[in-house]
Every structure is written in structure tokens, then in C-alpha cells.
Structure 1
């Protein structure tokens, strides 16, 4: 009896390792796609914001969700539209980015408070969290590294765009989420070295 118990825990560890590797590979592939196709990604994120706003309005009309929960969600989507104006360059010190981070926490607090008082099936609660709270911030998170490989197009007061760009970045070096994923890939699956 104890052998099967130990075996079940070992199989659980192997399954968790496989799922973690699959998620990391998927995120790496998504980050690569977003970096390559920033215009299409911007359009997809815009449609996701519109879809999330439609879902929030549908929840208000058909499910009688509280006005405060829907209003904060719609305001959050408006802030996400503000982030989309400078996409793929997302400035982490901008007021829009800071406000969107605060609103993610506020939205989660209001959602947990509402779902603690009202009974919904777990799948319904998960659907709300997926479409209204997680999908858009996750899309922005994965696309954070997309703006690092875009050539500068505007001049800030007192900056020379070309020289500023080449002094701040090193050629061929990645940073951001792709650098993390590349490091994890090399740590887990080291490449073969050619011996001459």
C-alpha cells in the first residue's frame, strides 16, 4: 500500500515538471510571435479589450452584476486602451501602466468580495476571471519585450534618437521576458557545443 502511495507522489512531481516545461515553452513561443508581429498583436489586444468590455456589459444586463464591479472593469479597459496607444513600447514608469497595475488589484478584490457573497459554479467564476481580469494583463505582460527591438521613431526633447538608441542597447542582446525564457531554456535544455 505504501509503495503505490509513494509512486503516486513521484508521478505527480513528473507531471508538474512536464506541465511547467510546456507552459514555459508556450510562453516563449508567444513572446517570439508577439515580438515578430507587433502590429497584429496590437490589433488582437484591441479586440480582446472590446470583447472584455462586451462581456462586462453582458454580465450587467443579463446577470445583474453590481454596477461598481462592472464600472471598475470598464474603466480598467479604458486604461488598457491608453496603454495600447504606445504599443509595443510600454513605459513601466508611465501613469497608465501604474494605474493599470493598481486596477488589476482592485478588480481582483471586488471580484473576490462579490463571489464570496453570491453563489456561482467554479467554471462560471473561472470564466469571469479569465475574460475580464486575466486575459488582457497577461497579453500585455507577454508583450513587454516586444518594444525593445523596435527602432525609435520620435525625438524626446534633448535626445538624439539614433545615438541614444545605440548607446542604451547592445546589439544582439535580449532583455526582458525573452531573456528570462532563453536563460530557462538553456538551463533546462543546454545546447550542444561543437568541438573542433
Structure 2
């Protein structure tokens, strides 16, 4: 009996994790749709979030978190705002974008190793700090950035010329392509 319940519990965890991942993906897709509709409001929202994250950093420093890491993380968040010069259009090979990506990874590992060495912080506090102080601004920028049409192979041409594609939608379009190609091959009216 315990074997069956153990297997059922494992299956439940796997299905629950898959549902959570699917829900997050759908949520990001909806957010990217909204961002594409309202780029000016999105820019203001992300810029405001940078300042709110600065406040969270200061409060975390007052709570006993490493001061130099807080300052480095705040500087990284302000470097991300350099992407606003051409917002929401970006060049995927621009030094600002590549530097922002490197800073995001570096910032993550800086905090990760800090928390590994200082196990006095509860897991919930670590997750909250990592989400708000490390990943909130880069994730918001990633979901909202629209690549320049000519730089991606997925760029589409409409009647009025170029059509901007959201970066997140471009990734989903890449996964849908084989299905669309199969549908056209099976369709009797594809000729």
C-alpha cells in the first residue's frame, strides 16, 4: 500500500510542477502581449520598479545583508536601464544587452554564494530577496524587449512593412513552426 501511495504522491508532484511551469509560461505570454500593446506604460513601470527595488535593497542592508553586495546589485539594476535608450527595440548583439545578461548571471551567483556561506537566513527570505532584488528587473526587461526585425530570422513582413515581434512571442513562434509546416503539408488546399 505504501508503494502505491508513494508513486501516486510522486506523480502528483510531477504533474503539479508541470502545471506550475505551464502556468508561468502562459502568464509570461499574456504579459508580453500587454507589453506590446502599451510600451510607454511598460517603460514607466520598469523604471519605477528599479527605484522600488533600490528601496528593497536598502531595507535588506539594514536587515543585516552584505552591504557591498547590495551596492553591486543596485548598480547592476541601474545598468539594466541603459537598455531603455532604444526601448522596446533592441539589437540582440548590442554591448548593452550582452553586458546586462552577464551582469544578471553574475548578480545571481554573487547572491547565491553569499547565501550558501551564510545559512542563517531562512529559505523564504532568500527566495524573496532573489526574486525582488536579483530577478525582477531583468525578467521584466526580458519579457518586454522587442528585437529589431531584421536581426531575427523570425521577422515577418506585413502589408505595411515590418512587424515588430516581442522576444517572448518569437520564442513561442519558433516552437510552433514545425506544427504549422505539418498542417500546410497535410492540407489539400496548400498548393
* C-alpha deviation, 1:17, in angstroms: 3.0
Give the secondary-structure state (helix, strand or coil) at the position aligned to 2:92: coil
Give the secondary-structure state (helix, strand or coil) at the position aligned to 1:85: helix
Structure 2 partner of 1:179: 170
Give the secondary-structure state (helix, strand or coil) at the position aligned to 1:81: helix
Distance of 1:127 and 1:31 partners within structure 2 = 23
Contact 1:45 1:139 in 2 (8 A): yes
* C-alpha deviation, 1:175, in angstroms: 6.8
Give the secondary-structure state (helix, strand or coil) at the position aligned to 1:140: helix
Matches within 5 A, 1:8-157: 8-60=9-61, 62-118=62-118, 119-145=120-146, 148=148
CA 1:175/1:117 → structure 2, altered by over 3 Å: closer, same or farther? closer
Q: How many residues align?
A: 174
Alignment root-mean-square deviation, CA: 3.1
Distance of 1:127 and 1:175 partners within structure 2 = 28
CA 1:115/1:27 → structure 2, altered by over 3 Å: closer, same or farther? same
**Cα deviations across residues 95-134 of structure 1 (Å, max 9, x unaligned)?**
2212212211221222122222321111111111011101
Q: Which moved more, 1:81-90 or 1:169-178?
A: 169-178
* C-alpha deviation, 1:7, in angstroms: 2.5
Structure of higher RCO (CA pairs closer than 8 Å, 6+ residues apart) = 1
Give the secondary-structure state (helix, strand or coil) at the position aligned to 1:107: helix
Gaps of 5+ in 1: 150-163
Q: Which runs of 4+ in 1 moved over 6 A?
A: none
Structure 2 partner of 1:157: none
CA 1:10/1:84 → structure 2, altered by over 3 Å: closer, same or farther? same
CA 1:7/1:25 → structure 2, altered by over 3 Å: closer, same or farther? same
Matches within 5 A, 1:163-178: 169-172=155-158, 174=165, 176-178=167-169
Gaps of 5+ in 2: none
User: TM-score when scaled to structure 2?
Assistant: 0.76
Contact 1:83 1:90 in 2 (8 A): yes
CA 1:183/1:11 → structure 2, altered by over 3 Å: closer, same or farther? farther
Q: Which moved more, 1:6-15 or 1:76-85?
A: 6-15
